[in-house]
Structure 1
Amino acid sequence: MTAHALLLSSSRQGDETYLEHARAHILAHLGERRELLFVPYAAVTQTYDAYVEAVQKALPECSVVGLHRASDPVKAITQAKENHQAIVTGGGNTFHLLYTLYEQKLIAPLQNAIADGTPYIGWSAGSNICGMSIRTTNDMPIIEPPSFNALTILPFQLNPHYTDYQPPGHNGETRDQRLAEFTALNPRTPVVAIREGTALLLTNNTLTLQGEKGGFVFTGEEKRPIAAGESLTKLLG
């Protein structure tokens, strides 16, 4: 596997501005590249052009081009590496993102491009699609994709924006309870839950948790803590 992927939990941490905490991680991941092919399909209540503009403003060192503007999106993904572009997928609604990727026939091209070493960066929904499926997203299923199966860049499930905080007086299920429901039905499939401000870095056949906060791996009835900087390479199989 030659995948070089940075999977951020979120675009914001606390009260920071858009991509503020992520910017250093993104630029380090890009190396000398500054050309970004941006996948805006998780956007629902803002236009794709507005989304591209927001990312461009947050990353002024880079040149951001929206995939939605390509006359042939499949070709744009396929040629991203030779065009010295990184592929970047933003957050929003995971169901809408995956639906559009299927609609545009971009699942296999994305899988192949990432496996071939095209740098990839995602946050929130853009990270969620890199797991086996989107069945552990936090989003509402506002649209039905043909399948919940995702890119499987990582051979497990992801849960970005993880939190174990429960507001006083809130009687709905906690995040842990929701994830426990998944692992009860899928006891052999790990779920890696990452807090806002952290990221998973996949490079050189290794996987590590980046950032200053820890996370958790849910498997079956077990919830195992993972420390900041911990290697998760064994989860790659």
Structure 2
Amino acid sequence: MKKLIIASTSTVHGSDYLEYILPTLSTFFKKVNTILFIPFARPGGISYDEYTVIARNAFIKIDKKVKGIHEFENPIKALEEAEAIFTGGGNTFELVNQLYKNNIIDILKEVVENGTPYFGTSAGSNICGVTMMNTNDMPIIYPPSFKTLGFIPFNINAHYLDPIEGSTHMGETRETRIKEYHVFNTTSVLGLREGSWLAVNGSSITLKGNLTARLFQKDKIAVELETETEINSFF
């Protein structure tokens, strides 16, 4: 049975990396000693080693060890033997590119579908959807496909932002961009705000955190979903 935490962000304003969600992760990873970290999104272009240290320093606070997948000679075997998996945020295009380049996207999907606990933030959450097509990231590299892991039957727009009343910014809002997406595509999109996450247990998908999320479905009016909503009931 699938067990996932799909979080909009790794860091909320005024807190350290993963601090806001560590109590939840302590329970989620209760039976886990070592977490396999996938650092391929490498925010700001930092190295895999630097990114792994950041993750390691966060998880040590709940007595969990972290080892980067790049440290293994055989990444497929690393995934097959992993107690749990964490994929961090950064650039979704590069993350997906590396998953395909290293030939591990299929095995990652398989082990998580078979019950290996998975935690994702930002880009690591975007890949849990049907495709990565609702990422906010710049296309710095062209992955072989936009198709991702399909753990949930919709796409994620992480770090979802609402229009700011009185703002003079003339660019598109997130809602406008998602409406543009739905001119050409039918997959639903969940706007997941900072500090919110999805708890996935089998076919159950529950919104967690203190904020609502915004669900966009083609040819329908977007709806606000309250925390603790069973999102799977919409599909």
TM-score, with structure 2 as normaliser: 0.94
Identity of aligned residues (%): 36
Aligned length: 230
1:73 pairs with 75, 79, 90, which one?
Answer: 75
Match of 2:149 in 1: 151
Match of 1:8 in 2: 7
Match of 2:56 in 1: 56
**RMSD of aligned residue pairs (Cα, Å):** 1.3
Query: How far apart are 1:38 and its partner, in Å?
Result: 0.2
Q: Distance in 1 between matches of 2:58 and 2:79?
A: 23
Match of 2:46 in 1: 46
1:159 counterpart SS class: strand
Q: Distance in 2 between matches of 1:199 and 1:25?
A: 10
Query: How far apart are 1:205 and its partner, in Å?
Result: 2.4
Runs of 4+ in structure 1 off by over 3 angstroms are: none
1:21 counterpart SS class: helix
Q: Which runs of 5+ in 1 are unaligned?
A: none
Match of 1:203 in 2: 201
Match of 1:171 in 2: 170
TM-score, with structure 1 as normaliser: 0.94
Within 5 Å, which residues of 2 pair with 1:79-118?
79-80=81-82, 85-118=83-116
More helix, by proportion: 2
Within 5 Å, which residues of 2 pair with 1:135-150?
135-150=133-148
2:230 maps to a residue whose letter is S
User: Deviations for 1:169-197, whole angstroms, at most 9, x for unmatched residues?
Assistant: 211101110011112222x3210111010
Q: Which runs of 5+ in 2 are unaligned?
A: none
User: Deviations for 1:32-64, whole angstroms, at most 9, x for unmatched residues?
Assistant: 213100000000511111111111111111100
2:170 counterpart SS class: coil
Q: Distance in 2 between matches of 1:32 and 1:113?
A: 17
User: Deviations for 1:89-109, whole angstroms, at most 9, x for unmatched residues?
Assistant: 000000000000000001110
1:30 maps to a residue whose letter is F
User: Deviations for 1:104-155, whole angstroms, at most 9, x for unmatched residues?
Assistant: 0011101100100000000000000010111000100000000111011112
Q: Distance in 1 between matches of 2:202 and 2:150?
A: 17
Q: Distance in 2 between matches of 1:89 and 1:162?
A: 19
Change (3 A) 1:150 1:204: closer
